[in-house]
Amino acid sequence: MDERHTLNVQIIENGVVGNWEKRFIIIEGSEIRVKNDRESIMISFSLKLQHIEVLPNFDDECGITVGSEIDGGDVEMSTTSKKLLKLKPLFSPSPIVYVFELKSQSEYDRWVLFIQSSRVQQQTKEEELEYKSSSSSYNEPTTTKTTTGAFYSQKSYSHHEKGWRHTFKKIAQKTGLVLVFLIYTALLAALFGAMWVYYVGPILTIDEMKTTCYVNSSDWGYISKGYYSVDFNVTYKIESGDILNNIMVQYCKGVLCNVGLDAEYPVGSNSTCYYDNKDPDFVYYDIYPMADYRLTITFGLCGSLFGIWIIFLIIL
C-alpha cells in the first residue's frame, strides 16, 4: 500500500487534545510518514504499522464538528460521512494518539485492514526467526504469543534480560581479571622479597674477615649464564685461632676465567682470602662475581615475570 494523501490530523498527548491541522500523508511499505505539506522536506512524525494499535470509534466520533478557521484556516471540515482513524503507538514513552480524518467508512475499513495485515506479517516473520533460533537450542521451551501486546512485552523483557546477563558476564570477567592481577602481584612481590632476603641478602651483608688460605687442591666447574667456578680445597685460620679446612667455591665470569684463577692461586700456595665472621665455613678470594651472579638470577627471573604483570596491567 503505497499512497499519498492530504488529510486532517489531530494529536492527543497526555490527555491534551490538539488542534486539527492539514497534513501530507505518505504511506510506503509498513510505515506512515507525516509532513506539514507536500513540499516539506522534514518529517513531522512517523508510525511503524506493526507497532501501532487501532483504537475503537464511538458513535459520536464519526465526524469533525469544529470551525473552519484553525491554525491558519487550512482545514476542511465536514460532519456528514467522514470517519476518524485513531492510532496509538505501542511503545511511546508518553500516552499519545494520532487521529486521522478519513473520507468514508470504506476507506477507514481499508486502512484498518492494511494495518492489521502489516502487523500479522511482521509477527509471522519474528515468530519464524524465533523458531529458527529455538531449534538450535532445543532444550529451551517455546512459547505461543496470544496477543500482539504480550508478544512485544515478552520480546522487550527478553531483550533487556539478555542485556543484563551480558553486562553481568562482562562485570564478572572484569572482576576475575582484577582478582587474578592482584594475586599475581602479591606472588611476584613475595618471590622478589624472598629471593632478595634469602638469596642476595646474605652475600651483600657478609661480615668480612681477612686471613690467609693455603690451597690443597683445585677443580673447575661451570655454573650458568657465562659464569664459571674453581673449587679450591683450602686451609685457613680464623680469628678464634681455630684452623679450618673447607671447599671454597670461587665464582668468575667469562670463558677461560677459571684458567686464570687456577694460575693466580696455584696448588701449594698461600694467598690472602676472606671468610664470613657469622659463618666461618664460607670462605672466598673475591665475593663480587658471586654477588653479581645472584643479582643477575634474581632480576632476570623477576624481570620476566614483571613483563607478564605489565601485560596484565595493559589489559585491565
State residue 134's pLDDT score: 57
pLDDT at 146 (0 to 100): 46
Q: Are residues 114 and 228 in the same domain?
A: no
The pLDDT score that the predictor gives to residue 136 is 53
* Residue 227 lies inside a defined structural domain of this protein: yes
- In the prediction, which pLDDT does 315 show? 79
Residue 134 lies in a domain: no
User: What is the pLDDT at residue 21?
Assistant: 93
| Amino acid 59: pLDDT | 54
> Are 121 and 218 in the same domain?
no
Q: What is the pLDDT of residue 72?
A: 44
Is residue 275 included in any domain, yes or no? yes
Start-to-end CA distance of the chain, whole Å, equals 54
CA distances from 285 to 29, 222, 232 (A): 96, 18, 10
Domain presence at residue 91: yes
- Residue at which a domain ends, from 78, 100, 126: 126
Cα dihedral across residues 224, 230, 235, 237: positive or negative: negative
Scanning the structure block, which residue is given the C-alpha cell 484553525? 70
Indicate whether 183 belongs to any domain: no
Question: What CATH number has the domain bearing residue 275?
Answer: 2.40.50
User: Does 163 fall in a domain?
Assistant: no
How far, CA to CA in Å, does 198 sit from each of 193, 201, 257, 267?
A: 8, 6, 27, 33
Q: 51 lies in a domain?
A: yes
pLDDT of residue 161: 57
Look-up: residue for cell 529458527? 132
| Residues 7 and 106 reside in one and the same domain | yes
Please identify, among 65, 98, 126, the residue that sits at the C-terminal boundary of a domain: 126
Range of the domain at 76: 3-126
| Positive or negative torsion for Cα 287, 291, 294, 296 | negative
pLDDT of residue 305: 92
Three-state secondary structure along the chain?
A: CCEEEEEEEEEEECCEECCCEEEEEEEECCEEEEECCCCCCCCCEEEEHHHEEEECCCHHHCCCCCCCCCCCCCCCCCCCCCEEEEEEECCCCCCEEEEEEECCHHHHHHHHHHHHHHHHHHHHHHHHHHHHHHHCCCCCCCCCCCCHHHHHHHHHHHHHHHHHHHHHHHHHHHHHHHHHHHHHHHHHHHHHHHHHHHHHHHHHCCCEEEEEEEEEEEEEEECCCCEEEEEEEEEEECCCCCEEEEEEEEEEECCCHHHHHHHHCCCCCEEEEEEECCEEEEEECCCHHHHHHHHHHHHHHHHHHHHHHHHHHHHC
* Judgement on whether residues 226 and 122 belong to the same structural domain of the protein: no
Q: Which neighbouring-strand residues pair with 223?
A: none
User: pLDDT tens string for the chain (316 positions)?
Assistant: 678 889 999 999 888 999 999 999 988 878 898 998 888 888 888 888 888 888 887 655 555 544 444 444 455 555 445 789 999 998 777 889 999 999 888 889 888 888 888 777 766 666 566 656 655 554 544 444 444 455 445 555 555 556 666 776 777 777 888 888 899 999 999 999 999 999 999 999 999 999 999 999 999 999 998 999 999 999 999 999 999 999 999 999 998 898 999 899 999 999 999 999 999 999 999 999 999 999 999 999 999 999 988 988 887 7
Choosing from 71, 105, 126, the residue where a domain stops is 126
The number of distinct structural domains making up the chain is 2
pLDDT given at position 240? 93
Q: Sheet with 227-237: list strands edge to edge.
A: 243-253, 227-237, 208-222, 270-276, 279-284
Which three cell numbers mark 141? 521451551
* Structural domain includes residue 34: yes
The Cα–Cα gap between 274 and 256 comes to: 24
Q: Is 209:276 a contact under the CB 8 Å cutoff?
A: yes
* pLDDT at residue number 46: 87
What local confidence, expressed as pLDDT, does residue 66 receive? 45
For residue 31, the domain's CATH number is 2.30.29.30
- Sign of the Cα torsion 14, 17, 22, 27 reads positive
